[in-house]
Amino acid sequence: MLMKFSLLIIDMQNDFVSPRGTFAQMGFEVKNLQKVIPAIRKFKESLKNIGIPAIYVVSHYDKIYLTNSIKERYKRNGYNIPFCISGTWGAQIVDELKPEKSDITVIKHRYNGFLGTNLELILKGTNIDTLIFTGVETHVCVQQTAIYGYMLGYNVILVEDCTASINETDKRYALEYCRKYYGLVKPSIEVLPIMKEK
């Protein structure tokens, strides 16, 4: 059966990735997140050349979207700087990965890119059945979205060199969990041959 693929680029936004963003201001070391920018850009271009669409899944965490449980966790962990607020520089996708006119952007307010968004409607409307995941953080929003996609019946491919976490241990855990329970984990150089086989 012919498979139809879509590239998902998750949370590649200034507040997460930039050294001037909120994550960095909170004291997190974002160099691992920055490292994947050129890899994602190159991979996206390769997929564009064979007609694979890109969907950007981005976070907006305005106060109106935060549940009491989220607010409690922010307070407990000392997250006292707003981040990924609609209309701000921090919520924008990093310059190196700016979407093109043909790309689609989906806004989420939770880790899971399907929850409360139109992502599934877009995928169903274009008959996509296989999702290729890139972005940050591997063990949080990437993983949550990928697992939910798998539960909805999509094939999942997590691109090892195009995902990142601040903590490498967290990333390794997420990759291993994916291998065991819900999808493929491949470096970008091995993904194109899989697609050409289908």
What CATH number does the domain containing 34 carry? Answer: 3.40.50.850
CB of 130 closer than 8 Å to CB of 3? yes
Task: Round to whole Å and give the CA distance between 74 and 14.
Answer: 19
By residue range, what is the domain housing residue 63?
5-197
* Number of domains comprising the chain: 1
**pLDDT score at 1:** 45
End-to-end CA distance of the chain: 8
Partners of 155 in the beta sheet?
130
Q: Per-10-residue mean pLDDT for the chain, 198 residues long?
A: 84 97 94 97 94 95 94 88 95 97 96 97 94 98 98 97 97 98 97 78
**pLDDT score at 2:** 56
**pLDDT score at 53:** 86
Q: Which one-letter DSSP state was computed for residue 153? A: T
Calculate the dihedral angle through the C-alpha atoms of 50, 51, 57, 58, rounding to the nearest 10 degrees: 80
pTM of the model: 0.96
**pLDDT score at 198:** 59
Residue where the block lists tokens 């607010």: 71
